Amino acid sequence: MLHIFCPHCQEYREEDEFHYRGQAHIVRPKDPEALTDEEWGSYLFFRKNPKGIHHELWYHTTGCRQFFNVTRDTVTYKIHESYKIGEEPAVKSEGDVT
Amino acid sequence: MSQNKRLASGGRIDRKKVINFSFDGKSYKGFEGDTLASALLANGVDIIARSFKYSRPRGITGHGSEEPNGVIQLGTGASTIPNVRATQQELYAGLVANPVAGWPSVNFDLMATLGKAGAMMPPGFYYKTFMYPQKLWMTYEHFIRKAAGLGKAPTAPDPDTYDKINHHCDVMIVGAGPAGLSAALAAAKTGARVIIADEQNEMGGSLLSTTQTIDGAPASQWLQDTIETLEDYSNVIVLPRSTVMGYYDHNFLVVIERRTDHLGEISPRGARQRMHRVRAKQVILAPGAQERPLIFANNDIPGVMLASSISVYLNRYAVAPGNALVVSTANDSGYQAAIDWHKAGRKVIGIADSRAESNGELVEEAKKLGLKIWFSHAVIEAKGSRRVYAATVAPINAEGTQVTGASQNYDCDIIATSGGWSPVVHLSCHTGARPVWNDDIIGFLPGKTVQKQHCVGSLMGQHQLHDTFEQGLATGAQAACEAGFGDGSNSIKVPSVDLVKTGQAQALFLVPHSKSVSRAPKQFVDMQNDVTAAGIELATREGFESIEHVKRYTALGFGTDQGKLGNINGMAVAAQSLNKTIAETGTTIFRPSYTPTTFGAIAGRDTDSLFDPIRYTAMQSWHEANGALFEDVGQWKRPWYFPKPGETMQQTLDRECLATRNSVGILDASTLGKIDIQGKDAREFLNRVYTNAWSKLAVGKCRYGLMLKEDGMIMDDGVTSCIADDHFILTTTTGGAANVLEWLELWHQTEWPELEVYMTSVTDHWSTMTISGPNSRKVLAKVCDDIDLDKDSFKFMDWRSGTVAGVKSRVFRISFTGELSYEINVQANHGLHVWEAIMEAGKEFDITPYGTETMHVLRAEKGFIIVGQDTDGSVTPQDMDMSWCIGKNKEFSFIGKRSFTRPDTSRTDRKQFVGLKPKDANVILPEGAQAVRNPNESIPMTMVGHVTSSYYSAVLGHSFALAVIKDGHNRKGESVYFPLADGRTIEAEITDYVFYDAKGEKQHV
């Protein structure tokens, strides 16, 4: 069971309190109508599945009800950092576009 | 026959306290301090079980959680527990135990007699034999389970309670042998919060049976002092009888404490077992090492035991489980059993040592005692069936691969075996670290981990007691320091213990036989699952080369013992058979739980009403008093229907429906999700998350909204009302409330943080009662005098605030029945009062309470959808013919809009929402029934849709259904067919989905 640091509450809390919401840093296109079906489809359906560093979106469901990001290693489950929405991760994965 | 194997003196048992118990229907006596296993051995009981596959008699092999054979059914009735290891169960007065396998009794097993013979069941037997026909698998499984004897689960509710406790500690220590105890001493001294857990009833591990001295005194003295010291620390929690069953990510450990299992079958004081959930800053693993048996022919006959277990039974329990001993060993430690046996006054026939020589101290001592030693020899076969009567000893080559000369049989009734020591790496594996083979210690060591974890003691191959103490103390101080306590140096004096000089051990696993592995009598690797060396060889011959595949094909390590004794030997046999090293073959990984865990401990107090919260509305007591039957909707209890005496369900529904259509009905709608949305950008926010437009919704008006996911599929629906220009109240489906709130927060926080909008769940704050039907206005008028109810001033889809039954209310004129309808919302603590006032006012109109079932029928007659019943996450608004609900001129591309033109959502053969009218007016289609266009098509037929809702309508006088049918909007008037599992085929006509008041006039009256 993960021990997750909530950057809003500034505390480690048990995984029970959180809800995983998938890959982080997916930005909704500004003008969806301008996209081809393929581009829209990539935004909708295609997600990374890395072996290693992964940036994830989490929700502090039974706590502060705030979303935040977590950088987690999918092999060791080690959490490298938690950071607020809009902030950049300090630990990058290989697939990150800089 | 009373404890004829008990020694006259010694041991950690209390001879003054006699305990009566029974096994397999017979009564025996033991002493306080005994385990069930030691007491059975003391009484000369050889056969404890029958084996899984071959029904061979089996006896006690070990003395702890590794025991593969001595697995019993403890207790009877509601408090019985299957798969208890007799070696771990302490004796208590009146203990009742039975074998899990063997019928009619373990001494006479019918299966063995009927020829459940070895040749019949090679590995992969189930896959090979029971594959076809598939239909019969259930029959086979039943037969196999019954024959295999996997224990019985209790069938009545458990009379005991169980509980859970959460801990946060600085240093968690697993195992209270010399390594764990010394680590605890050093860590405790720093002031760190320490928890030390051990699965045995007494702490001490190997110290409980050692003959070594510490600081010049018996080990038991140091042990007693140490435990007292630890218990005196207020920052230390000492947990005996506590198994760390799992080690999870981020240093989270689950410990099962057996609080009263040693006192009786039913707890005499409080919770029987307690689950400790520990989040530790640092973990020290000190679980020790497990002696590995040598594999030889017929090594499963009762009387063949681990060498260390023989010492434990002699020294700790004062039991000599036999008379004449032969030892087979590949290292020095096997000699200890012979020395202890000799000192207990029993006969040692000889020690077969696979090595050419050893200059170790134990070997020298054995020589001094005049014990017979055969170097370069091994026991290659045990003779006997129900008990060992002889050991076949033969010379073997230096590599341990071949018998090099004539063998000789030696009469004996007990054989001790020692192939070396395997570190108990199980817990270190739980977080994903793969163990690493080490040639020096001839065993696997814990693999690299990211956990804040330290390993110490014989887990690391350390068997010198002095070094173990030194490293334990150092590790305890170091772990405490890393948790923020002390400077990392140990200030406790290392206890003085003599070094024991040992000779080099040999890596021997499978002892050669004069016959080949496939011809020799069975050489058991995993006794609980009856996996033999020949079976593993066969698996590799059949092409299973990965150790993971060998495991699954042969069932090696699949038993309740998780292969604690058998696994490493199995890996070695597989490696040998594949001409690889063990390092190359590798090992399978161990997973939680370390030993079988009862469901009671996992459930704790979370049973019955505490299992999941139940949510009641404010009117629950009224519903109960008026005979409602309830339906679970999410966590809510909702009235389902209100039967009157003598009514069938259908009669009740007919009555409730007709009353609402013809006069007035009332529904408790409090469970609908309600989200209060405020802020200057609330309107814009609604525009983005709903399909329809909100820019012009005036204060006092309500609007139905449809919420989509970004893929264009319907996610939720509900009515949203404008309270003020920057204040709305949004309703959701009962089951979707929490998801919708999270969904709204997601978009606000991650995409549009610039919008000023605040959301609060207010579901529980309001009681909602819906009065519906042509007389509903008259009823409301009797309890409300400050709202103008005139149909032209308070119109359909308006809301007003006012006073109902003296209580401040919001009244919404919205309708889910198609009738004139008012939804009255009051603060929840006034709900019951207002409900009762309305019931009183409605008496003259025969106001009729109805539940969810009638609500479903009434809305279905109108073709109103229920999200999650008529939709399933794969239907679009267009599929549901709800394009009217989509804002055409909205500036912002609302969630889901772009997906309307995806190739998949815009194709024309999608399943579309329609009504169905069965040809037989009394037949109700089953919900979920699949539609076909041609009932005579051969199977598999082409399915074109399915029924989503189906009822009998009293007002229409016939059954009807809602469905999604491919291209349904263009096929009204056609027939579709529903071939059912019971052989019937029902024909129905595709119709419009609105069955009643098609023009929608009644809600406007």
The per-residue pLDDT for range B192-207, each reduced to its tens digit, is 999 999 999 999 999 9
Handedness of CA A59, A63, A64, A70 (dihedral sign): negative
Of residues A97 and B99, more confidence is placed in B99
Radius of gyration of chain B (CA): 37
Name the amino acid, one letter, at B173.
Answer: I
Of residues B555 and B313, more confidence is placed in B313
Radius of gyration of chain A (CA): 15
- Encoding tokens for residue B921? 């007016």
Q: Compute φ and ψ for B17, nearest 5 degrees.
A: -105, 95
Chain A residue whose CA is closest to B891: A31
CB–CB of B745 and A65 under 8 A? yes
Residue B387 forms part of a structural domain: yes
Q: Write the DSSP symbol of residue B710.
A: T
ipTM: 0.97
On chain B, the residues whose CB falls within 8 A of the CB of A37 are: 901-903
Of B248, B710, B898, the CB nearest to A33: B898
B373-375/B347-353 β-pairing: parallel
For chain A, what is the domain count?
A: 1
Mean pLDDT throughout B875-900?
Answer: 95
Residue A72 forms part of a structural domain: yes
Same structural domain, B271 and B325:
no
What is the three-class DSSP state of B391?
A: strand
Name the amino acid, one letter, at B298.
Answer: N
- Encoding tokens for residue B970? 């263009």
Q: Which of B585, B605, B621 is the last residue of a domain?
A: B585
- Measuring CA to CA, which residue among B626, B797, B787 is closest to residue B701? B797
CA-based angle A52:A58:A62, to the nearest 5?
Answer: 140
Chain A residue whose CA is closest to B281: A3
Residues in chain A: 98
Give the confidence band of B102 by pLDDT, cuts at 50, 70, 90.
low
Q: Write the DSSP symbol of residue B602.
A: H
pTM value is: 0.91
Same structural domain, B742 and B687:
yes
Angle between helices B649-662 and B852-861 (to 10 degrees): 60
Going through B233-343 in order, the beta strands assigned E by DSSP cover 236-239, 242-248, 252-258, 273-285, 289-291, 304-306, 324-329
Same structural domain, B515 and B395:
yes
On chain A, the residues whose CB falls within 8 A of the CB of B592 are: none
Q: In 10 A of CB A86, how many CB atoms?
A: 9
| Number of Cα atoms under 13 Å in the Cβ half of residue B893 | 17
Residue B1 has pLDDT above 60, yes or no: no
Distances (CA, A) of B514 to B376, B380, B792: 15, 8, 105
Nearby residues of B215 by Cβ (< 8 Å), 6 or more positions away: B221, B222, B495, B496
Residue A78 forms part of a structural domain: yes
Mean pLDDT throughout B921-950?
Answer: 96
Mean pLDDT throughout B452-465?
Answer: 96
Chain B residue whose CA is closest to A31: B893
Of B746, B753, B898, the CB nearest to A21: B746
Distances (CA, A) of B520 to A64, B120, B382, B394, B512: 68, 17, 12, 14, 9
Tell me what pLDDT residue B617 has: 97
Residue B490 forms part of a structural domain: no
Of A1, A27, A44, the CB nearest to B710: A44
Residue A91 forms part of a structural domain: no
Distances (CA, A) of B147 to B25, B98, B100, B109, B116: 20, 16, 10, 10, 10
Residue A71 forms part of a structural domain: yes
Residue A93 forms part of a structural domain: no
Residue B139 has pLDDT above 90, yes or no: no
Residue B569 forms part of a structural domain: yes
Distance CA(A68)–CA(A13), nearest Å, equals 14
CA-based angle B862:B866:B869, to the nearest 5?
Answer: 120
Dihedral of CA atoms B793, B799, B805, B806 in degrees, nearest 10, equals -100
Which of B749, B874, B889 should be substituted to probe chain A, the one whose Cβ sees the most A Cβ atoms within 10 Å? B749
Q: Is B432 exposed, middle or buried (0-12, 13-18, 19+ CB in 10 A)?
A: middle
Residue B51 has pLDDT above 90, yes or no: no
What is the three-class DSSP state of B371?
A: coil
Mean pLDDT throughout B834-851?
Answer: 98
CATH number at residue B946: 2.40.30.110
Same structural domain, B302 and B352:
yes
Tell me what pLDDT residue B117 has: 47
Beta bridge partners of B166: B277
Residue B113 has pLDDT above 70, yes or no: no
Q: Number of helices (H) and strands (E), helices first, in chain A?
A: 1, 6
Task: Tell me the residues of A at the B interface, defined by beta carbons under 8 Å apart.
Answer: 1-3, 14, 19, 21, 27-28, 31-33, 35, 37, 40-41, 44-45, 57, 59, 61, 65-67, 73, 75-79, 85-86
- Encoding tokens for residue B983? 């052989």
Q: Which of B764, B792, B811 is the last residue of a domain?
A: B764
Contact between B402 and B512 (Cβ < 8 Å):
yes
Distances (CA, A) of B756 to A64, B167, B679: 18, 41, 5
Residue B322 forms part of a structural domain: yes
Chain A nearest-CA distance from B549, in A, is 22
DSSP letter for each residue of B148-173: HT------S--SS-EEEEEEEEEEEE
Give the confidence band of B559 by pLDDT, cuts at 50, 70, 90.
confident
Mean pLDDT throughout B524-528?
Answer: 94
Domain that holds residue B573: 292-420+504-585
CB–CB of B899 and A3 under 8 A? no
On chain B, the residues whose CB falls within 8 A of the CB of A35 are: 898
Mean pLDDT throughout B896-924?
Answer: 95
Of residues B107 and B522, more confidence is placed in B522
Name the amino acid, one letter, at B362.
Answer: L
Q: Is B124 exposed, middle or buried (0-12, 13-18, 19+ CB in 10 A)?
A: middle
Tell me what pLDDT residue B888 has: 86
pLDDT in tens, B766-780: 999 999 999 999 999
Q: Compute φ and ψ for B620, nearest 5 degrees.
A: -55, -45
CB–CB of A37 and B903 under 8 A? yes
CATH number at residue A23: 3.30.2270.10
Going through B609-765 in order, the beta strands assigned E by DSSP cover 629-633, 636-641, 665-668, 673-678, 702-708, 714-724, 727-732, 758-761
| Number of Cα atoms under 13 Å in the Cβ half of residue B564 | 26
CATH number at residue B359: 3.50.50.60
For chain B, what is the domain count?
A: 6
Give the confidence band of B2 by pLDDT, cuts at 50, 70, 90.
confident
Q: Is B877 exposed, middle or buried (0-12, 13-18, 19+ CB in 10 A)?
A: buried
Mean pLDDT throughout B906-920?
Answer: 95
Residue B772 forms part of a structural domain: yes
CA-based angle B203:B204:B206, to the nearest 5?
Answer: 140
Of residues B125 and B714, more confidence is placed in B714
Contact between B75 and B82 (Cβ < 8 Å):
no
Same structural domain, B276 and B297:
no
| Percentage of chain B modeled with pLDDT above 90 | 89
Chain B nearest-CA distance from A44, in A, is 7
Residue B27 forms part of a structural domain: yes
CB–CB of A77 and B432 under 8 A? yes
Residue B235 has pLDDT above 80, yes or no: yes
pLDDT, chain B, mean? 94
Could you tell me how many CB contacts below 8 A there are between chain A and chain B? 61
Chain A nearest-CA distance from B861, in A, is 36
DSSP letter for each residue of B414-436: EEEEE--EEE--HHHHTTTPPPE
Distance CA(B80)–CA(B93), nearest Å, equals 16
Mean pLDDT throughout B436-455?
Answer: 96
Residue A35 forms part of a structural domain: yes
Same structural domain, B279 and B317:
no
Residue A97 forms part of a structural domain: no
Mean pLDDT throughout B353-374?
Answer: 97
Same structural domain, B545 and B414:
yes
Chain A residue whose CA is closest to B749: A67
Q: Compute φ and ψ for B605, nearest 5 degrees.
A: -85, 0
Residue B217 forms part of a structural domain: yes
pLDDT in tens, B626-652: 999 999 999 999 999 999 999 999 999
Same structural domain, B573 and B514:
yes
For chain B, the 3-state helix, strand and coil shares in percent, each to the nearest 5, are 25, 30, 45
Distance CA(B315)–CA(B288), nearest Å, equals 19
Name the amino acid, one letter, at B864.
Answer: F
Chain A nearest-CA distance from B157, in A, is 28
B453-455/B273-285 β-pairing: parallel
Residue A89 forms part of a structural domain: no
Peptide bond into B593 cis (omega under 30): yes
Distance CA(B503)–CA(B360), nearest Å, equals 5
Residue B149 has pLDDT above 80, yes or no: no
Q: Residue B995: enclosing H or E segment and its boundaries?
A: none
Q: Which of B831, B859, B887 is the last residue of a domain?
A: B859
B49-50/B57-58 β-pairing: antiparallel
Nearby residues of B569 by Cβ (< 8 Å), 6 or more positions away: B292, B293, B295, B419, B509, B510, B525
Residue B105 forms part of a structural domain: yes
Same structural domain, B301 and B414:
yes
Same structural domain, B924 and B1000:
yes
Same structural domain, B306 and B393:
yes
Give the confidence band of B118 by pLDDT, cuts at 50, 70, 90.
very low
State the residue for tokens 């919060």. B193
Residue B114 has pLDDT above 90, yes or no: no
First to last CA, chain B: 94
Contact between B901 and B996 (Cβ < 8 Å):
no
Residue B306 has pLDDT above 60, yes or no: yes
Q: In 10 A of CB B625, how many CB atoms?
A: 8
CB–CB of A85 and B753 under 8 A? yes
- Encoding tokens for residue B913? 């929402």
Dihedral of CA atoms B7, B8, B10, B15 in degrees, nearest 10, equals 100
Tell me what pLDDT residue A11 has: 96
Domain that holds residue A16: 3-84
